[in-house]
Each structure stands twice: as structure tokens, then as C-alpha cells.
Amino acid sequence: MSNWDRFVATFLDASIAVHYLPDLLAGAAITLLLGIAVVATGIGLGLALASLRTLNWRPLNVLMIIFIDICRALPPLVIILIIFFGLPNIGIVLPSFMVLWLSLSAVLAAFSEEVFWAGITSVPPGQWMAARSTGLSRGQTLLYVVLPQAVRLAIPPLTNRTISITKNLALGSAIGVNEILGRAMSAQAFSFNATPLVLGAFLYVLLFVPLVVASRWLERQYGWRRV
């Protein structure tokens, strides 16, 4: 057997790929569902926190900054393991699916809050005053004048951070979430072959390349254009 034949038998065995493909596709569905949930929750919470921060209520801002700094400083895997193994000690037991969703949503919310806040503070103060002088309330000024500009400024860094964090869905295998990597590792263990891992990598590419393409489209369509 040549070296190429050994490589194909180890990493590209068609019979093993066909056998485990349905299982890995089920894992891909879980990964996709989790990814959508994490992105929606993380970005939504980040925008809400950035909006609350404009109230300039010091106690609330201090609590938010502590939460944000901790989530940004800790590796996502550490947060996942703390929630998964720590909360049961105080009587709170969450499914591994929910632990992964909450952990990555918190991390994405922390980063997206900072991105949105940078966008909000980039809007000239004169626009706040001009909008208020027309009779708009503070909330209306934020909603109709400031946030549309802040969101456009935030799109490029936010899309990059979103892709980076959602790729951490693979960490779910550490707590038994049956997403792509978890199923691929199980299939590898049963088949004594690396083909399921290669197939899993291919499925990750199929899931995340469209997200990368969509992020570039968003940047072109809605990102801030310099003139």
C-alpha cells in the first residue's frame, strides 16, 4: 500500500463517511440551531446593555463593566466549565445545550456591548443636542438618531467577533453537547478512523463560509462608508 493509499484509508474512507454522515448531519443541525440562538441573544443583549449604559447611572454601569470585563477576560471554555460544573453545587442543574448557549451568548454580549458602545460614543454630542432641541425625548434620540449611526459603525468589528465566538460552539463537546465535533469524535472512537473528523471539518466549512460571506455583504451594504 502506497503512502497515498494509507492517507486515503485513514482520512478519506468513503464507506465510513457514508455510514456516519447522517449522525454528523444531525450534529450540524444542532450546531446551526445553537449558532442562531447565540448570535441573536448575544447581539441583542449587547445592544441592550450599550443602550442602558447611555443612562449614565453609575451603579448600573459599574455592574455592567464588571460583567463585561470578566466575560472578555475569561476563555469561553472556562466560562462553560464553571457554569456546567459549578451551578449544580448550589442546586442549579442546566442541560449542556443551555449551558453552551448561555456561556457563548454572555461572551458575545460582552464584546458586542463594547463594539456598540464605541459606535454610540463616536456619534458627535451635537447630534444629541440637536435632536433634543426638536422635541425628541432621550429615548427617541437614542433610537432614531444615535443607534442607526452606531450600528453602522459597529458592523465590521461586530461581524468579525461574531464569527470568532460562534466557532467556539465546538467547545460543546467538552460537556457532552452532541454538535458536529462531539459526534465526529465519537464516530472516530468507534471506527478507529479519522474520516469522521475530516467530514466534521467539511461540515463546519459548509456552515461558516456562508456566515463569512454574509458578513462581508453586510459590511458592503450597511457598513459606514468613508468619503
CATH code for the domain in which residue 95 is found: 1.10.3720.10
Find, among 147, 159, 152, 145, the residue nearest to 221 by Cα: 152
pLDDT for position 226: 47
- Residue 211 in domain: yes
Q: 214-223 burial by CB neighbour count: b if 16+ within 10 A, else e?
A: ebeeebeeeb
- Residue 116 in domain: yes
Pair 145, 119: CB distance under 8 Å = no
- Residue 227 in domain: no
Q: How many domains does the chain have?
A: 1
Separation in Å, CA 90 to CA 27, 76, 79, 97, 174: 31, 21, 16, 19, 21
pLDDT for position 227: 38
Reading the block at residue 58, the C-alpha cell is 453609575
Per-residue pLDDT of the chain (227 residues; tens, 9 = 90+): 677 777 777 777 788 888 888 889 998 999 999 999 999 999 999 999 999 998 889 999 999 999 999 999 999 999 999 999 988 888 888 899 899 999 999 999 999 999 999 989 988 888 888 888 888 888 888 888 888 888 888 888 888 888 888 888 888 888 888 888 888 888 888 888 888 888 889 998 888 888 888 878 877 776 655 43
pTM confidence score: 0.87
- Residue 34 in domain: yes
pLDDT for position 224: 58
pLDDT for position 69: 93
- Residue 10 in domain: yes
Output the CA angle 10-19-3, nearest 5 degrees: 15
Find, among 183, 170, 174, the residue nearest to 22 by Cα: 183
- Residue 16 in domain: yes
pLDDT for position 44: 94
The residue range of the domain holding 21 is: 3-222
Find, among 122, 46, 44, 109, the residue nearest to 76 by Cα: 109
Find, among 163, 145, 153, 121, the residue nearest to 219 by Cα: 153
